Amino acid sequence: MPPALRINAVAFVSASNAPILVRTFVDGGDDLKYHYLAHTSLDVIEERIAQPKFNECYLGLLFSMEDVAVYGFMTPLKLKIVVALALTDTVVRDADVVLIFKAFHTAYMRSISNPFLRVHASPESSALVDPSPALLTEANADARKVTAFKRRVDDVARSVLGHDNILE
């Protein structure tokens, strides 16, 4: 039975618009495509924020491209989460997507709370500067330290997709 929602990719972007994590869950999928998707969704997000619709964290459907529908979420702390769901014919309920975003946000919060997680220990990230992690792609991350974050993100995606669809 095909599950109702399939997450194709998720991207976390920090307050200064620096990417934190881009994770794809489609085999054969193109990582770069989702990087690009995250980039373009940033523009749409900025546009939506400029409108005086102030009270919502959940930004709804940003846009849809070829085979994915892209949803956005921005926390009061300006962390942006972008989720690409595969287009389906079934009705996608807002409440479900909000739940998915909250789960990703919780995963991010738990990983950020770890004081020993510092991916790019830049010399100026002292106590004054907020030590939020820099880009965590497979290529340039300290693999041991960020696996917990990735694992939590994967857990969220897995529980959405159902056990028969573990994609790595």
Partner 1 sequence: MNPSTSTASLLQTLAPIADPVVRLADGALLDYLLIELVPTLADSSSVASARATHTENEMRAAGLLPARSAKDKDKEASDKEEDALRARLEAVGAHVGANLAERLSRDRARFADTLDIIKFICKDVWQAVWAKQIDNLRTNHRGVYVLQDNNFRPLSRISSHEGPQEAARRAKLYVAWSTGLIRGALARMGLQGTVIPEIPSLPQCTFQIKLPKGAS
Binding positions for partner 1, rule: CB under 8 A: 1, 3-5, 15, 54-57, 74-78, 90-91, 93, 96, 99-100, 102-103, 105-107, 109, 112-113, 115, 127-130, 155-156, 159-160
For partner 1, the closer CB: 35 or 131? 131
**Rounded CA gap, 70 and 90, in Å?**
16
Place of tokens 């924020």: 49
Strand partners, 23: 10
Count other C-beta atoms under 10 Å from residue 142's C-beta: 14
SS3 assignment, position 12: strand
Measured from the CB atom, is 36 or 60 closer to partner 1? 60
User: From the CB of 103, what's the least distance to partner 1, in Å?
Assistant: 4
Least separation in angstroms between CB 74 and partner 1: 8
Q: Give the nearer residue to partner 1 in terms of CB position, either 144 or 163.
A: 163
Residues in the chain: 168
